[in-house]
Amino acid sequence: MASVGVWVDAGSRFELPGTNGTAHFLEHMAFKGTTRRPTANALEVEIENMGARLNAYTSREQTTYFADVQGRDVPIALDVLSDILQYPCFPANALQRERGVILREMEEVQGMMDEVIFDHLHAAAFQGHPLGDTILGPVENIKSISKKDLEQYITTHYTCPRMVVSAAGAVNHDEVVDQVREFFTGFSTDPTTVDQLVEANPAIFTGSEVRVEKPEMPLTHFAIAFKGSSWANPSSIPLMVIQSILGTWNRSVGVGNCSGSALARGISNGNLAESMIAFNTNYRDTGLFGICAIAQPDSLYDLSRLIMQEFRRLAFEVSETEVARARNQLKSALLLHIDGSTAVSENNGRQMLTYGRVMPFLELFARIDAVDCATIMETAKDFIIDKDIALAAVGPLTNLPELSWFRSHTYSDDEFTSGTFLQDAQNN
């Protein structure tokens, strides 16, 4: 088997004002026919006859189209991918039908609280910037996006300097290169780079909040975030290790007191949450890192206090044991993530767009192993202490502290320099 795909340095953050949702809409319309394959049915039959799988997804900064096929069918997959991206038809009936599909998808997303919380978090953190918009876009845009909008987005953003073809599995590199040269000939060679677009409209992190009071909900969902680092920032690796130190916890898993995460142990011992997960999201020029949690309304204050105390502890008091554990957990997670040709192809394509090269695991692991206690504390001071916070919350919110309370708990104090809090983090 082989996986082959096209990674495009274009996502929702690059949409023009008033056209939010175009990148995602385009992803849907790409499979609805081309000049050579005039109907969606013709395309589907060709893919199914190969026993292949064709898919796509859109994020805030990248769009991906990929196929999983048998090794002998890689040339056909490349032909299909090049065809749908260079010569799409956008038939009017399919355009109208996809509006309904995306509106139903939006309804489904509204029921996925993790998606809802992170959309609200981006809206709070990047106010007035496309990076704060949702990927699907608002209802009014979905109803009005036109064929012209889609064509303009392709012409502007699907350009040679911003595209990577990545293949993994049963493939021959030289043959793939020759086939790409043959098939991918109709894209614009506009030299404008993503870095130039980002520099012209940088994302500015804002300390703000989005609260959606829903007292009828049994649980509260909320996320606390600091400004993180960009992909290429040297702090990106220490922040990944910090994410691993903070860890994850879920009541249904049954791991509590024996968890390597001091925060997870504190939550388990205090019965403070249903689940908790640390996150670290990178973008071209910025990032978000923090904690997302689900909890009973009565536990919100104590849980918030514990989370903020653990954030601050990282700037003053971490042990080599917990840092070493976090490094090992991070390396294991990265290795597990590239299981299979699809994951390898995705990893390589994303890294080519992000770094301009594929970073060898030996290099990545060396950079992770270079993160010690001093690095963690220095990074935490740079990104946590006396820094603004973005907050998103949905559910019963009476007991959730105000944003100013969270902000005030980013200050350093004697509690941590004296080492009196969470001593068990030093003993495990």
Here the CATH number for the domain that contains residue 23 is: 3.30.830.10
Q: Residues with catalytic annotation?
A: 27, 98
Same domain, 214 and 186: no
Cα(219)–Cα(237) distance, integer angstroms:
33
Cα(168)–Cα(413) distance, integer angstroms:
51
Same domain, 167 and 248: no
Cα(98)–Cα(395) distance, integer angstroms:
32
Same domain, 183 and 233: no
- Give residue 419's pLDDT: 45
Same domain, 181 and 98: yes
Same domain, 263 and 164: no
Query: Would 274 be classed as within a structural domain?
Result: yes
**Which of 150, 166, 199 is at the close of a domain?**
199
Query: Would 428 be classed as within a structural domain?
Result: no
Same domain, 240 and 175: no
Query: Would 319 be classed as within a structural domain?
Result: yes
- 71, 1 contact by CB (below 8 A): yes
Same domain, 166 and 147: yes
Q: Is 203 helix (H, G, I), strand (E, B) or coil?
A: coil
Query: Would 348 be classed as within a structural domain?
Result: yes
- Give residue 420's pLDDT: 40
Tell me the residue range of the domain where 247 lies.
Answer: 209-417
Largest CA distance in the chain: 71
**Which of 178, 199, 220 is at the close of a domain?**
199
- 228, 384 contact by CB (below 8 A): no
Q: Residues near 44 by Cβ (< 8 Å), separated by ≥ 6?
A: 31
In the beta sheet, which residues pair with residue 169? 2
Query: Would 424 be classed as within a structural domain?
Result: no
Same domain, 146 and 77: yes
Q: Is 283 helix (H, G, I), strand (E, B) or coil?
A: coil
Q: Which long-range contacts (CB under 8 A, 24 or more apart) does 399-407 make?
A: 399/297, 399/298, 399/299, 399/300, 399/301, 400/211, 400/220, 400/222, 400/300, 400/301, 400/304, 401/300, 401/301, 401/304, 403/207, 403/208, 403/209, 405/304, 406/224, 406/304, 406/308, 407/207
- 66, 8 contact by CB (below 8 A): no
Question: Edge-to-edge strand order for the sheet containing 2-8?
Answer: 53-58, 63-69, 2-8, 163-169
Q: Which of 277, 279, 280, 270 is nearest to 306 (CA)?
A: 270
Same domain, 138 and 221: no
Structure token digits, residue 7: 């990674």
Query: Would 423 be classed as within a structural domain?
Result: no
**Which of 130, 164, 199 is at the close of a domain?**
199
Structure token digits, residue 427: 């003993």
Structure token digits, residue 419: 């080492």
Same domain, 164 and 233: no
Cα(385)–Cα(316) distance, integer angstroms:
10
Q: Are β-strands 287-295 and 163-169 bridged in parallel, bridged antiparallel, or unpaired?
A: unpaired
Cα(389)–Cα(371) distance, integer angstroms:
25
Query: Would 292 be classed as within a structural domain?
Result: yes
Per-residue pLDDT of the chain in tens (428 residues, 90 and over written 9): 999 999 999 999 999 888 999 999 999 999 999 999 988 898 999 999 999 999 999 999 999 999 999 999 999 999 999 999 999 999 999 999 999 999 999 999 999 999 999 999 999 999 999 999 999 999 999 999 999 999 999 999 999 999 999 999 999 999 999 999 999 999 999 999 999 999 999 999 999 999 999 999 999 999 999 999 999 999 999 999 999 999 999 988 765 555 678 999 999 999 999 999 999 999 999 999 999 999 999 999 999 999 999 999 999 999 999 999 999 999 999 999 888 999 999 999 999 999 999 999 999 999 999 999 999 999 999 999 999 999 999 999 999 999 999 999 998 755 444 444 444 444 44
Same domain, 243 and 183: no
Count other Cβ atoms within 10 Å, centred on residue 177.
12
Same domain, 186 and 265: no
Count other Cβ atoms within 10 Å, centred on residue 303.
26
- Count of domains for the chain: 2
Q: Are β-strands 209-213 and 390-395 bridged in parallel, bridged antiparallel, or unpaired?
A: parallel
Strands (DSSP E) found in 234-374: 248-250, 275-282, 287-295
- Give residue 1's pLDDT: 94
What is the distance in angstroms between the CA of the first residue and the CA of the last residue of the chain?
44
